[in-house]
Amino acid sequence: MDRMEEAAPPPLRVGLIGYGLAGSVFHAPLINATPGLTLDTVVTRHPERRAQVHAELGRDMRTLATTDELFARAESLDLVVVASPNRTHVDLARSALEAGLPVVVDKPLAGTAAEAQQLASLAAERGLMLSAFHNRRWDNDFRTVRALIADGALGDRVHRFESRYERWRPELKGGWRESADPAEIGGLLYDLGSHLVDQALTLFGPATAVYAETDVRRDGAQADDDAFIALTHADGVRSHLWMSAVAAQLGPRFRVLGNEAAYVKDGLDPQEAALREGARPTPGKRWGVEPEIAWGTIGDLDARRPVPTLDGAYPAYYEGIVTALREGAPPPVTAHEAVAVIRVLEAARTSALECRVVTTNLA
């Protein structure tokens, strides 16, 4: 084999749209940490965020003020990442696909399952990759739950899966995430609920019934800030999912009940906090490591033991994107999976509004 054959292919060039929380804390750092990817361009209309880009990513990083400018140079890119506010996801993903570019869209992929399915169909027609950034599949605690279930450590059946993303944020922050405008796709149901539902469907497959409760608890709030979803999966497992901004004391992150043992885990995966503080994944070094004091326990009333938490693995998402683009493998989160999440969220919203169990249009 000659040197040309041995040489690694040039990195895939990424255009990132948006440099708020999602773009600056999650996507840009993970893209830069992934072999085979290079962040080529960041689009943000805010001058202060363009200054932030240059301060954090280097003065030579190309910044643009509009997506029109980005798509005008589509031939110079290999991937577009949409990390802008939820209301823009569908239009920007469609524009990227129509420009001939594969797309990663921050969750949720769309506000409705119909819109998400239209994007999935367009991507399939164009032969382009479309993936949603459901990064919480690579949380350290979720990876541990998945491994315990796969190994039969809880028994040969799971009866109930309990999962929570709870916070204590009694004061409003403002912004589109707390807007009541349906176009903004705000509120916790679609924000944290996207992660919770995706994790449940990943573990136990499709839901056949959805029941939900949503509330607006804080003074002056407009969007749901406290919610509960109950799923019945096709295999009989029940998932109970809580999301809240008004939890003055937090429940366990996971409580998984099997026919032989239960697993209980408190606390949150450390990766987001590390990224916010400026830490970055480095190839060859451990990442997402949790101290022993934070490990969960497995067992029953008579005997319990600590379970070492697997390391968090957010870098695995973009590593999977590289494999999908280079080798034609399915992306780490498929468009079909992203559509399924939104179908459940739509059903949850209907259930909460109409005070009933929803059993149709979930597949």
299-342 tens-digit pLDDT: 999 999 999 999 999 999 999 999 999 999 999 999 999 999 99
Does residue 114 sit in the same domain as residue 239?
A: no
Instruction: Count the domains in the chain.
Output: 2
Does residue 232 sit in the same domain as residue 274?
A: yes
Q: What is the mean pLDDT of the chain?
A: 94
* CATH number for the domain harbouring residue 161: 3.30.360.10
pTM of the complete model beyond 0.75: yes
Q: Is residue 187 part of a domain?
A: yes
Closest CA to 243 of 259, 227, 264: 227
> Which pLDDT score is estimated for 239?
98
Does residue 115 sit in the same domain as residue 241?
A: no
What values do phi and psi take at 86, rounded to 5?
Answer: -55, -40
CA dist 190 and 290 (Å) reads 28
Q: Quickly tell me which residue has 């008004």 as its tokens.
A: 246
- 184 band by pLDDT with thresholds 50, 70 and 90: confident
Does residue 160 sit in the same domain as residue 115?
A: no
- 1 band by pLDDT with thresholds 50, 70 and 90: very low
Q: Is residue 295 part of a domain?
A: yes
- 6 band by pLDDT with thresholds 50, 70 and 90: low
Q: Is residue 362 part of a domain?
A: no
CA dist 188 and 193 (Å) reads 6
Mean pLDDT on 293-297:
97
Does residue 151 sit in the same domain as residue 278?
A: yes
Does residue 182 sit in the same domain as residue 109?
A: no
Amino acid at 346: E
Q: Is residue 360 part of a domain?
A: no
79-125 tens-digit pLDDT: 999 999 999 999 999 999 999 999 999 999 999 999 999 999 999 99
Q: Is residue 31 part of a domain?
A: yes
Does residue 72 sit in the same domain as residue 176?
A: no
The pLDDT of residue 285 is above 50 = yes
Does residue 171 sit in the same domain as residue 257?
A: yes
Q: Give me the torsion for CA of 93, 94, 96, 99, rounded to 10°.
A: 170
* CATH number for the domain harbouring residue 53: 3.40.50.720
Does residue 187 sit in the same domain as residue 306?
A: yes
The pLDDT of residue 179 is above 80 = no
Give me the domain span that covers residue 248: 138-312+343-354
Does residue 47 sit in the same domain as residue 147?
A: no
Identify each DSSP E strand in the chain by its residue range: 12-17, 37-43, 62-64, 79-82, 103-106, 130-133, 158-166, 207-215, 226-233, 238-244, 254-258, 262-265, 296-299, 304-307
